[in-house]
Structures are given as C-alpha cells and as structure tokens.
C-alpha cells in the first residue's frame, strides 16, 4: 500500500467520529456481546478492515485518491470494470461501485479515449473521364526495405486506356 495513502486513510479514520473513535474503540476494547456483531471488522496498523479489505471512510478526497491510484497511475486507464475489480481486491466503502462509475464517467481522458464506432463515409466513384489521362488513380507503398537505393513504389492506373504503370521511388 502507498505510504502516503495509508497515512491519509489513518488520518481520515481518526477524523471520522463514527468509524474513527467509536468503532475502533468497540473493536479494540468493547464488550464481547457488542464485538460479536462486528466479526467482519478488524483494526490493524491504524486501519479499519472490513472482511479483510481496507475501509475507506466517508471522505470524497480519500475515495478519489484510492480511485486515482488504480485508475490513473497503476494501470493507465483500465476502464470501468477493471478499475472496480482492482480496487475491490484491497479496499471497501459503502457504494464503492457507484463512486468508481461516477469518477470514470466524469474523467475527461477516459471519455476522449473511448472507442467509438467508425463513421462510414459512402464511397464516391470517379467520374467517367472525357479524355485520355484525364483521371489517374495512384497508390503509394512506402517504408519498404531498401533495395538498390529504393524504398517505395508508386502504382498508377489511368482510367481510359486501361494501362497500368509502376515505378520505384526514394523517400
């Protein structure tokens, strides 16, 4: 766990009256009949654990820090479901999934990186030429291995005389 994040979580737990003081006190020195109902909670190294996961107190900044750690830095924008999976392996807070979805939905980089379906532009055929060599189509094949000083090919096709030509180029 990131040491800065751990320190921030410990401070957040101390600052939160319910989780910081009361729950911690009950877990560490509370009567047995009360702690029996809190079996899923533990207190270890200044952190509260819920079912073995680090509890993040109700603090937007802390939740954002945890989400940023996994979404922005560790994996490089892994997407909504992978981010949720990664965070929920180590951390827990109420409504964690909703928070992460909202975070990613509002994250500008993710919104610009989404793969959108390509826009299909209709093909426009060439008009029938009026004279010889009026219209010529050309294809360039570049970045080939160097051969006798050439590394590109130009392939042309004039539409009327139905003649094909190719020649080598240097880039």
Residue predicted with more confidence, 92 or 68: 92
pLDDT tens digits, 8-32: 888 888 887 666 666 667 767 766 6
Predicted confidence band of residue 107 (pLDDT cuts 50, 70, 90): low
Task: Give the integer Cα–Cα distance in Å for 99 and 87.
Answer: 11
Q: Of 3.40.50.261, 3.20.20.140, 1.10.357.140, 1.10.340.70, which CATH number belongs to 3-113?
A: 1.10.340.70
Task: Note whether 165 and 156 are within 8 A (CB).
Answer: yes
- Taken as a whole, the chain contains a residue count of 171
Domain boundaries, the chain: 3-113, 136-169
Residue predicted with more confidence, 102 or 116: 102
Task: Note whether 130 and 110 are within 8 A (CB).
Answer: no
Task: Give the integer Cα–Cα distance in Å for 109 and 83.
Answer: 15
Task: Give the integer Cα–Cα distance in Å for 92 and 97.
Answer: 10
Instruction: Output the pTM of the full model.
Output: 0.56
Task: Give the integer Cα–Cα distance in Å for 167 and 23.
Answer: 80
How open is the CA angle 15-19-25, to the nearest 5 degrees? 105
What's the CA dihedral at 72, 75, 77, 78 to 10 degrees?
A: -140
pLDDT tens digits, 139-151: 888 888 888 899 9
The pLDDT of residue 50 is 87
pLDDT exceeding 90 applies to what percent of the chain? 8
């Amino acid at each position: 766990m990131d040491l800065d994040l751990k320190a921030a979580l410990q401070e957040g737990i101390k600052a939160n009256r319910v989780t910081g003081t009361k729950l911690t006190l009950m877990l560490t020195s509370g009567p047995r009949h009360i702690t029996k109902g809190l079996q899923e909670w533990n207190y270890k190294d200044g952190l509260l654990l819920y079912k073995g996961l680090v509890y993040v107190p109700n603090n937007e900044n802390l939740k954002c820090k945890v989400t940023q750690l996994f979404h922005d830095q560790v994996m490089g924008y892994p997407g909504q479901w992978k981010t949720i999976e990664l965070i929920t392996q180590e951390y827990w807070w109420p409504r964690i999934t909703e928070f992460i979805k909202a975070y990613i939905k509002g994250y500008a980089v993710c919104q610009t990186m989404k793969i959108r379906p390509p826009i299909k532009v209709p093909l426009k055929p060439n008009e029938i030429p009026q004279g010889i060599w009026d219209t010529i189509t050309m294809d360039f094949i570049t970045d080939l291995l160097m051969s006798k000083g050439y590394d590109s090919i130009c392939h042309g096709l004039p539409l009327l005389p139905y003649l094909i030509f190719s020649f080598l180029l240097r880039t």
